[in-house]
Structure 1
Amino acid sequence: MTATPTAAGPAAPPARAVLSRDELHGSLSDPLLDQMTFLNEVTLRYPDAVSFAPGRPYEGLFDPDDVPAAFAAYLAHLGDTLGLGPEAVRERIFQYGRTKGFINDLIAGQLRRDEGISVDPEAIVVTAGAQEAMLLVLRALCAGPDDVLLVASPCYVGITGAARLLDIAVVPVPEAPGGGLDPEALAQAVRDQRAAGRRPRACYLVPDFANPSGASLSVPARRRLLDVAAETGLLLIEDDPYGFFALDGRARPTLKALDTGGRVIHIGSYAKTCFPGARIGYVIADQAVAGPAGAGLLADELAKLKSMTTVNTSALGQAVVGGMLLRCDLSLRAANQAVAAFYADNLRTVLAELAGAFPPDRKHAHGVSWNLPEGGFFVVVGVPFTADEQAMERCAREHGVLWTPMAGFYPAGGGQRLLRLSCSYLTTNQIRVGIERLAAFIAAERGRETAAPS
């Protein structure tokens, strides 16, 4: 039935619903989420600026022809190696698929070859990127309001953001002066939280070339960290996106490879090494879970959660990444040698250009400092002014260069005079131009600070 206009004219449309922000989840008003939105928008507003902001892989390292070739390799594997017929292949590729994933055996083989990690494929859950793995792990581990997550500080905003979405309290643990999470500070944080009536469930860290600090844990510190975890009954959530990208080319043992007590939940991703757009990550959750129905794996519990979120991980994405693993005989470390050399050259260029722009006398006079990462994508620069969003936008507008403020990476505050440079998404020539522009901006900001009335 259609409405009949009256003599007074058509009826006014109903008022549109207006939602109160106060009635939405508190995370939507969190400055952390606003900061990430701002960074995305400011990059679009200044497309010609040299951007040290994104920690994404360099697109020139990818060949579109590799995608169909990898897909074909996986299809051949299904038929020739696994002996699947056309109907089974069709189902594997086109249907939703198993919640845990279907390239688990290939991931297990790659981890065995590259990292010396021996794990049952059933202890692996293939996820929609490492970010989903973080959400699943946090949701499974943290059961009540007194549960807290410890994090290395400064910390990747993906994990603190996930904790905020899940209303999980985050407790920062400082990095040691030499770099990486301080094991003794972690032990003290566990004691302090328990004394306060809270239950520390796990500690999140990136042992190799962490985002944002670039810091790495020494092997003795890794072993001590595992001892602390065993002594305190804590789990360690290890995130390992950058382990292949050491300046010296040497492989460092992951915490999971050193773990003999089942204390490490290991998160990995193929975004930096294979295909970022496929959004394929994984989590090794081989811890036993006991209950009335018997014992199982933590991976099985994570799969239950995944079945109510993303249901399963893209079959096409898994097939392409699986094919890429097959084509390199399950050794990404060998296959990524040229990629690792590219990123190492970029990192050396950033450090060399900073040293050239700020020789010792000028470095001291300008109040500038920077760390010396042993690999990865990131360098942290200390500056003599507040490196906030307003300063970054001035830098983009007036000097044509972008970077990331560090303050958002400190859960308890701090980092106001620090900025992060990512060297992964640029050529060496862009890096040289960008550091020259950054140096000019730092000099200009120092002048502004000096000229400001006291």
Structure 2
Amino acid sequence: MEYRFSDIFRYIKPSEIRSLLKYTSDPELISFGGGMPNPESFPIKEMKEILNDVIDNYGKKALQYGTTEGLDPLRDELAKYVEKTEGIRAKREEIILTTGSQQALYAIGKIFTNPGETVITEGPTYVGAISAFNSNKAEMIAIDLDDKGMDVDALEERIRNFMANGTKPKFIYVIPTFQNPAGTTMVLDRRKQLLEISKRYEIPIVEDNPYGQLRYDGDPVPSIKSMDDDGNVIYLGTFSKVMAPGLRLGYVIADRQIVEKINLVKQGLDLASDSLSEYIAYEYLKRGDIYRQIPKTVSLYRKKRDLMLKSIAEYFPEGVKYTKPNGGMFLWVSLDEKIDTTRMLERALKAKVAYVSGAAFYPHGEKHNSMRLNFTYSDDDKIVEGIKRLAYVINEEMEVVE
């Protein structure tokens, strides 16, 4: 039989990160490519206690289908959590649980964009967002980042150009705190300016904040949502980095109209998120375990970040630029513009080290001389050895292109 698939699959490309997984069975490979939390950060003892209590106290409900919007007591606890950690005030009706924040990205693309309509992202941006928005045939425009976050002046100029042609973007997607993949944090003045742009042109902001609690140094910067008085910001959060990614639980905080629309999309995707995970997350928040676990995770990751930065400074050749993130899970390395890191990856894999090439983080693969490195997952000795291997590969590639 010749299968006739829908036109949408012309826009859906495989993720380079997922493609790298086929190499992970090689015990000699050191991979900085994934975005996985370190298993040492998982609160296994607490999870075991919570799981036993959930089965004993809520078993018949926790193993049953749940509501599409999510467990009411969990949404109430989430409202307390985001007010305490991010200064966001939200009511239960403004919160919906999702099966990971990836589902939220897909749903937002679905409810806002028709095929061919424009959304604004940072450049570079999260590869999962590119995948989600591609699934809805959105046209993505990337606005460059610097060490202070998105260039909001360039953003406004681009919006004015759209308006002059009778159109405007459907939303602006940003990861302002410890950005994935760059590791940068948008400064407060730009956050305020971005919010003003959103109000002025009536374009919603999608603020994705998976890493906000993973701060290793520097002062916290208020979330954009905490400064939003008009419902212009759609806020995405997740339990993957502060509890465990295997539970696949995220959430959206937004105007009730948006929550209702996401609810409808979610009904077509999975009917409801995993009830057992929701009860576990509820107890994790209610007991305060999350506030005791995050400092342990921060301590673990700070050490690994420092070790990778120290190793890069020691082993990488002169002229290589890299970010020095105050938190999160990633840093961004930029090489000579003549180097194509996608092509260089083959050389790196032969040297038993992996990364994600920079082109994967641009909607149209615009730039080719950068790479994302994850510092949270690998053992300390492998961080040092992996950077040594990568330095060798970069030096070889530089000799080829010169």
* Superposition TM-score tier, normalisation by shorter sequence: over 0.9
Deviation at 1:147, TM superposition (A): 3.2
Deviation at 1:74, TM superposition (A): 4.8
> 1:5 corresponds to which residue?
none
Query: Given that residues 123 and 299 in structure 1 are in contact (C-alpha distance below 8 angstroms), is that contact kept between their aligned partners in structure 2?
Result: yes
Q: Distance in 1 between matches of 2:3 and 2:15?
A: 19
Q: Describe the superposition over 1:392-436 as per-residue Cα deviations: whole angstroms up to 9, x where unpaired.
A: 122121x22111100111124433111111101112221111111
Q: Which amino acid aligns with 1:370?
A: Y
- State the secondary structure of the residue aligned to 2:33: coil
Q: Among 188, 193, 196, which residue is 2:162 paired with?
A: 193
Q: Distance in 1 between matches of 2:93 and 2:35?
A: 31
Matched, 1:115 2:83: no
Following superposition of structure 1 onto structure 2, how do residues 441-452 of structure 1 map, counting pairs within 5 Å? 441-450=393-402
Q: Distance in 2 between matches of 1:308 and 1:91?
A: 25
Matched, 1:372 2:353: no
Deviation at 1:29, TM superposition (A): 6.4
Matched, 1:148 2:118: yes
Q: Among 379, 390, 393, which residue is 1:427 paired with?
A: 379
Query: Given that residues 27 and 33 in structure 1 are in contact (C-alpha distance below 8 angstroms), is that contact kept between their aligned partners in structure 2?
Result: no
Query: Given that residues 70 and 321 in structure 1 are in contact (C-alpha distance below 8 angstroms), is that contact kept between their aligned partners in structure 2?
Result: no
Q: Distance in 2 between matches of 1:115 and 1:43?
A: 36
Q: Describe the superposition over 1:330-379 as per-residue Cα deviations: whole angstroms up to 9, x where unpaired.
A: xx355301101211221111111111114xxx514xxx221222221111
Query: Given that residues 41 and 296 in structure 2 are in contact (C-alpha distance below 8 angstroms), is that contact kept between their aligned partners in structure 1?
Result: no
Deviation at 1:67, TM superposition (A): 2.2
Q: Describe the superposition over 1:55-84 as per-residue Cα deviations: whole angstroms up to 9, x where unpaired.
A: 1100122243332312345568xx6xxxxx
- TM-score where L is the length of structure 2: 0.93
CA RMSD of aligned residues (A): 2.1
Matched, 1:60 2:46: no
> 2:70 corresponds to which residue?
101
Matched residues, number: 399
Q: Distance in 2 between matches of 1:72 and 1:37?
A: 33
- Structure 2 vs 1, CA of residues 37 and 337 (structure 1 numbering), >3 Å: closer, same or farther? closer
- TM-score where L is the length of structure 1: 0.83
Q: Among 232, 242, 252, which residue is 2:221 paired with?
A: 252
- State the secondary structure of the residue aligned to 1:125: strand
Q: Distance in 2 between matches of 1:152 and 1:34?
A: 18
Q: Distance in 2 between matches of 1:431 and 1:439?
A: 12
- State the secondary structure of the residue aligned to 1:308: helix
> 1:41 corresponds to which residue?
22
Matched, 1:217 2:169: no
Query: Given that residues 256 and 264 in structure 1 are in contact (C-alpha distance below 8 angstroms), is that contact kept between their aligned partners in structure 2?
Result: yes
Matched, 1:393 2:393: no
- State the secondary structure of the residue aligned to 1:151: strand
- Structure 2 vs 1, CA of residues 157 and 249 (structure 1 numbering), >3 Å: closer, same or farther? same
Q: Describe the superposition over 1:30-65 as per-residue Cα deviations: whole angstroms up to 9, x where unpaired.
A: 5x4253443222334x44211110111001222433
- Structure 2 vs 1, CA of residues 73 and 108 (structure 1 numbering), >3 Å: closer, same or farther? farther
Q: Which amino acid aligns with 1:71?
A: L
Deviation at 1:114, TM superposition (A): 1.5
Q: Which amino acid aligns with 2:7?
A: H
Q: Which amino acid aligns with 2:330?
A: F
- Structure 2 vs 1, CA of residues 374 and 255 (structure 1 numbering), >3 Å: closer, same or farther? same
- Structure 2 vs 1, CA of residues 146 and 33 (structure 1 numbering), >3 Å: closer, same or farther? closer
Deviation at 1:146, TM superposition (A): 5.8
Following superposition of structure 1 onto structure 2, how do residues 182-331 of structure 1 map, counting pairs within 5 Å? 182-248=151-217, 250-287=219-256, 297-328=257-288
Q: Which amino acid aligns with 2:335?
A: V
Q: Distance in 1 between matches of 2:2 and 2:330?
A: 42
Q: Among 394, 408, 411, which residue is 2:363 paired with?
A: 411
Q: Distance in 1 between matches of 2:277 and 2:224?
A: 27
Q: Among the aligned pairs, what percent are the same residue?
A: 26
- State the secondary structure of the residue aligned to 1:152: strand
Q: Describe the superposition over 1:229-284 as per-residue Cα deviations: whole angstroms up to 9, x where unpaired.
A: 11111100000011112221643211111111211000000001101100000000
Q: Describe the superposition over 1:101-148 as per-residue Cα deviations: whole angstroms up to 9, x where unpaired.
A: 002111111112212211001110100000011111221122x34632
Q: Distance in 2 between matches of 1:63 and 1:214?
A: 25
- Structure 2 vs 1, CA of residues 263 and 29 (structure 1 numbering), >3 Å: closer, same or farther? closer
- State the secondary structure of the residue aligned to 2:16: helix
Deviation at 1:157, TM superposition (A): 1.3
What 5-or-longer segments of structure 1 have no aligned partner? Answer: 1-16, 80-88, 288-296
What 5-or-longer segments of structure 2 have no aligned partner? Answer: none
